[in-house]
Structures are given as structure tokens and as C-alpha cells.
Chain A
């Protein structure tokens, strides 16, 4: 009887051999490499108690760092949405010299080590840099100001938006656009009512990924930021500072808060995404 049960369970699970081995490797590896370290962080933060955690994250310097990290990440993501959409659009819809190079280069921020990006962007945007020079002449200082952080976060977030929008744009049925045009809609209307709605979930998903990456970004930011507490100090740098003072508990509290924020972003993202998909389905059905 129990053998029949076991057999039925195995059949429901899947009949290919290798379940024991691959399941064993997967769970052991994930437990040792991901689960235990994350649990250690959460437990360490929990050891402070809710009040203790609150004291750490509500200290003026920490609050300022959270503001810097989240606000600038949001502003960089907002800029990345139209830029990413434009790049995806021209790459999918037009043929032009340099298109293939662009298609390969879009992933540069994912492949280029962050410390290389950091020193490169700093060299570009210092007051006598290629871009910093002309901008400084206009009275705009980028390096060692919050604007520098924005530039770095724009750089690291770009591929996420392009790469989530691009495949959806490729699959769009252009006959719908042509139908709308023959029915007398202006091109602007067609873009807003026919092209943009199905792209919206992908655009939001890309923006969410870019934002999640930007909030935690460290290497490309610290070189260009100037790192002045309260002005251009990001949360990851504050965590490093706490660790250097051997204040493990405070570092854990800040880290756990960042982790929680990242998970909430991902949750919100999947909620918004499914809502956007539903909205789109409704407009299509209507």
C-alpha cells in the first residue's frame, strides 16, 4: 500500500530519473550559499529588537543616506525609461549603421566591473573631464555631487529597461498599428493607444529591475559621489562604514532594511505588472 502511494507520488512529481541527486544538490547548495547567510543577517538584525533597529535606521545620517539612495535611484530610473524605450525602438524598428554595435554595447554596464565604471565616469565628469569641462562652464558640477550618483545609476540601470522592452517590441503585431492608421488615427495617437499599452508591463518590469539594482549599487557610485554624509552618502557606503567600526549589529540592521526594501520592490513590481497586463487585456477586449 505504502509502495503504491510512493509510486503515485513519484508519478505526479515526474518520471525522469535524477530527482534525488539534483534535488539534493539544489537544496544543499542554496541552503549553504544563500539561505544561511541571509538568515544570519536577519537574525543579527533581529537581535537588536524592533526598537534597536528603528534607532539605527532613523538616525539622521542613516535617514539622509536612505533618502539619497532611494530618491536618486528613482530619478535615474525615471530617466532610463524614455532612454531605454528610445534605444529599444530604434534597434527594433530601424536599420542603421552601428545598430549591431549598439545592440552588443547595451549590455556593457552588466559586463563592465563597477569599479572600472566608477573611475571612468569620474574621469569623464570631473571639472576638467571631457564632459565635466563643458558642463562646468555652464555652471553644472557633476562629479562629487549627488548628480554624479545620478549619472552612475543611469549607467548601471540602462540595460534592464532596454532588454525587457526590446523582445516585447519585436513581437508586436504591426498590422494593428496599420489598421489604426488607416482608420484615421494620428501617428501620435497610435503610439499612445496602440503601441505603448502592450509595452507598459515590460517597461515597468525593466524600470523595477533597474531601480532595484540602482538602490543597492556601490562600486560605480563611490568614486564619483564625493561621499559627503547627509548629501551624497549612499546606504551601502554607510554599511561599509559601520563594518569598519566593527558595529556588526548596525550594519546588519541597515542591510536587513535594504533587503526588505528590495523584496518589497520586487513584490510591488509583480503586482503592478499583473495589473498592467490585466488593464491591457481589458483595453484589447473592449
Chain B
């Protein structure tokens, strides 16, 4: 006994097999089956009805709107995320902790509330409702409201990914560049950005997945006007409530594919990050 290495806890073969088996069962039950059911339900009536489901005019409008909203929200939050991470990790100033907390706040707010806040500001009886109405500006039940709700929900993704990386890296290299005469923009482009780029990509990826998939917040501000304010996640709900299940699941399969691609790319990025490329 003294000569042999101790068997670590959980290393007994029987226990190992049981634990791995439990893990696999849970993975299939919780994670694999919801994905599988989407695909099976989407193809239940055959490939023709699937193609019909994703190529109807309403479906196309939903896809276009979803891509448009993500194309506005993701770049906004990326630029903000980089600026805020730089500001919050490279300087000490009063109120820094409060700003730091604010960047994470939308994560802990219910999606419905993330939509509600915009209705309370810009809705018919909201704070600015009468003024907007007098000037014939429509925010709620229109594109601007959907964009604002999506931006709110996705604020934390990039900034919260980048802050820990910038903190861990420290600012020695940036200070060295400064003493060598580099400008602020040069320091950012040549030193900071290359070091945080995988984190930024990771954040952008998750930000995009959430922007394209946000349901609760968008549902509150959208008004569900077909062809105008219905995004893909909302279109699924409408089709589902119309008992048009094949079309609902066809649309769902597109978003599920988006989620899988997101996870795949994320896994690749993480492998690169740990490889230290």
C-alpha cells in the first residue's frame, strides 16, 4: 500500500462508470432532446413543408428584421464594450464601481422588464408618449423600440468578457508604449486590441446569439404586427399559437442552428485562447 500511488477520490472504476453514465443520461435528457425534437417536428411533414415554412413572406420579413436588429445592436454594444472596458480597467476615479455594476445590471433584469422600461418611457402613456405622438414619432410597436430593447438586453456581453482580460493583462505594456511615444489610438490598436481580441469575439458571438434570439423584451415592445415588427422568435410564437406547428418548428430549427453554430465557434475560440495563440 505504501509503495503504490493512492487512488484519488472518484477514481474507482465502478464509481466512474456510474457518474459518467448519469452525466450522459442528463445531457441527453436536458440538452440533446430539446434540439432533436425541434428538428424532428420541423421535418415531420416532409422537406417540402419545411421549405414552405421558412420561405413564406412572413418568415422572410421576420428573418430580415432579426438580422437588421442584430446588425444595429451588436456593433453598438461592441464599441461601447471596448470603450467601457478600457475606461473601467485603465483609470481610477470616483464612481468607477457604480459604472462597473451598471454594465452588468441588464443581466439580472427580467426580459419582460427590459421591454417594459421602454414602454414606460416611449409608450402611449409613457413619460415621453404625448410628445412623441404630437411629433408623429413611433418608437414602441416599431423598429426603434425593438432595437432599444435588444440593445438594453445585450449591453453586458462584450464589456463583461473584455474587462477580466484587460484586468489580468495589466497595463505595463501600454505604459511602456506610452513612454516610447505612442499615441492613445496606436496603443489601443497595436497593444490592447490584439490581446483582447478572442475575448471580444467571444462576447460578440454571444451578444449576437442573444440579439437574434431575444424574445421577452422584444415581445413587450413589438406589438406583433406581422411583416413589420415580428422577429424570428416572435414569429415562432405566432405560428405556434396558430397551431401551424411544422412552420413554427421550421423557424425554430433556423434559430437552433444559429445557436449550435454559436456554440461551435465558441468552442473553437476557447481552444485557441487556451492554446495561447
| Minimum C-beta distance from A236 to chain B (A) | 4
Contact status B84-A108, CB under 8 Å: no
Q: A14-B90, A219-B233, A266-B108 are in contact. Are A44 and B35 (CB under 8 A)?
A: no
Task: Give the number of residue pairs across the A-B interface with Cβ within 8 Å.
Answer: 294
* A-contacting residues, B20-37, CB 8 Å: 20, 22-24, 26-27, 29-35, 37
Contact status B92-A14, CB under 8 Å: yes
- What interface size band does chain B fall in? 35 or more
A26 contact from B20, B87, B175, B263, Cβ within 8 A: B87
Is B74 an interface position by the 8 A CB rule?
no
Contact status A34-B35, CB under 8 Å: no
Is B132 an interface position by the 8 A CB rule?
no
Against A, the Cβ 8 Å flags (1 = close, 0 = not) of B31-68 are 11111011001000000000000000000000000000
Closest to A88 in B: B23
Is A144 an interface position by the 8 A CB rule?
no
Q: A114-B213, A115-B233 are in contact. Are A240 and B220 (CB under 8 A)?
A: yes
Is A16 an interface position by the 8 A CB rule?
yes
CB contacts (< 8 Å) of B240 on chain A: these are 119, 223
CB contacts (< 8 Å) of A59 on chain B: these are none
Is B152 an interface position by the 8 A CB rule?
yes
Distance of A262 Cα from B80 Cα, bound (Å): 25
Against A, the Cβ 8 Å flags (1 = close, 0 = not) of B66-103 are 00000000000001100110111011110000010011
Distance of A234 Cα from B212 Cα, bound (Å): 24
Distance of A80 Cα from B102 Cα, bound (Å): 28
Is B277 an interface position by the 8 A CB rule?
no
Distance of A218 Cα from B9 Cα, bound (Å): 41
Is A102 an interface position by the 8 A CB rule?
yes
Q: A37-B118, A105-B32, A107-B263 are in contact. Are A87 and B108 (CB under 8 A)?
A: no
Distance of A30 Cα from B101 Cα, bound (Å): 11
Contact status B237-A115, CB under 8 Å: yes
Closest to A155 in B: B30
Contact status B99-A27, CB under 8 Å: yes
| Minimum C-beta distance from B164 to chain A (A) | 12
Contact status A26-B125, CB under 8 Å: no
CB contacts (< 8 Å) of A91 on chain B: these are 23
Distance of A103 Cα from B268 Cα, bound (Å): 12
Is A199 an interface position by the 8 A CB rule?
no
B178 contact from A15, A102, A107, A124, Cβ within 8 A: A15
Distance of A61 Cα from B154 Cα, bound (Å): 31
Against B, the Cβ 8 Å flags (1 = close, 0 = not) of A100-123 are 101111111111111111011101
Is B119 an interface position by the 8 A CB rule?
yes
Partner-binding segment picked from A48-56, A174-182, A225-233, A272-280: A174-182
Q: A41-B113, A104-B263, A112-B256 are in contact. Are A33 and B23 (CB under 8 A)?
A: no
Contact status B175-A248, CB under 8 Å: no
| Minimum C-beta distance from A246 to chain B (A) | 6
Contact status B256-A219, CB under 8 Å: no
Contact status A258-B263, CB under 8 Å: no
CB contacts (< 8 Å) of A154 on chain B: these are 30
Closest to B185 in A: A18
Contact status B117-A246, CB under 8 Å: no
CB contacts (< 8 Å) of A243 on chain B: these are 116, 119, 220
Contact status B92-A12, CB under 8 Å: yes
Q: A26-B84, A26-B99, A120-B38 are in contact. Are A113 and B215 (CB under 8 A)?
A: yes
Contact status A25-B84, CB under 8 Å: yes
Is B193 an interface position by the 8 A CB rule?
no
Task: Give me the 6 closest cross-chain CB pairs, A-B, nearest first.
Answer: A216-B110, A113-B213, A17-B184, A37-B117, A219-B215, A22-B87
17 contacts between A and B (CB under 8 A): A16-B184, A16-B187, A22-B86, A25-B83, A87-B23, A89-B19, A98-B24, A108-B34, A114-B216, A114-B233, A115-B233, A115-B237, A119-B249, A155-B30, A181-B9, A195-B9, A262-B110
